[in-house]
Amino acid sequence: MINVLVVDDHSIIRKSINQLLQETPDMRVSGEAGSGAEALQLVRENNYDVVVLDISLPEEHGIDVLKQLKNLRPNLHVLILTMYPEEQYAVRSLKAGAAGYLNKHGALTQLVTAVRQVAGGKKYISSELALLLADNLSSSHMEYPHHALSHREYQTLCLIASGKKLSEIAKTMSLSAKTVSVYRARLLEKMNFKTNAELIHYAITHNLVI
C-alpha cells in the first residue's frame, strides 16, 4: 500500500485528489495539509511513501517546503502537482529534490501513474517536461538570465509579469511590500533591466506567464 500525503491549500483540490487515489487499490491518502508548516509537522510524526505537493502555498513557497521536507526525510518521494506549467518551475523543482512534476491540467489522467512511479523510486517525467529537459541539456541551450534568480526573486518576476501590483505580490508571498521591493531590485539588477515593462516582455517571451 502506497501511503500518500496531499499538500494543497485548497480543500476542494485535496478532496479531488483524495477521491481519485482512494479509488486505486494500492494507494491510500493517509494525511492532508493546507500549508507547508502542517506538512512538515505531519512528516515529522508519520511515515509517508509519497508527498503530493503544490507550489502555491500560504506563507512559504512550495519549493522552499520541498527543500525542508527533503532535509527532514532525504528518502521521501515528493511529487509536485501545480497549476504552473513546466516552463516555470519544473527544472527548479527537480533540482531542489522533487521526484516528479505534474501540471494539474493533466492530473486526472496522469496522477495515479506518477504517484506509483515515484513511490517505486523512479522519476516521473511528463512528455512536456522531457522536451524541456532536453532543451536544457542541449549543446545549443543558452543559460538564460532568470536561471540565476533565487526562488523568491523568480517568484517575484512571475507575479510581476502576471500583472499583480506590489501590494498583491506581498500578500501572495506573505512578505512585506518593502521586502518584495528588495527582491524586485535584485532581479532587475541580475537581469540587467530597468523597468517592469522589460521584465514583463522577457517573461512573456520565455513562457514564464500562465
CATH classification at residue 166: 1.10.10.10
CB atoms within 10 A of CB 173: 19
**Residue that is last in its domain, among 117, 137, 157:** 137
pLDDT of residue 42: 97
| Same domain, residue pair 49 and 103 | yes
Say how many CA atoms lie within 13 Å of 102 toward its Cβ: 26
Full domain range(s) for residue 169 = 145-205
Residue-level pLDDT, tens digit, the chain, 210 residues: 999 999 999 999 999 999 989 889 999 999 999 999 999 999 999 999 999 999 888 778 888 899 999 999 999 999 999 887 777 788 888 888 999 998 887 666 789 999 999 999 999 987 777 766 666 655 444 567 887 888 888 889 988 988 888 898 888 887 889 999 999 999 999 989 999 899 898 888 887 776
Residues 30 and 91 in one domain: yes
Place of cell 491518502: 29
Burial of 194 (0-12, 13-18, 19+ CB in 10 A): exposed
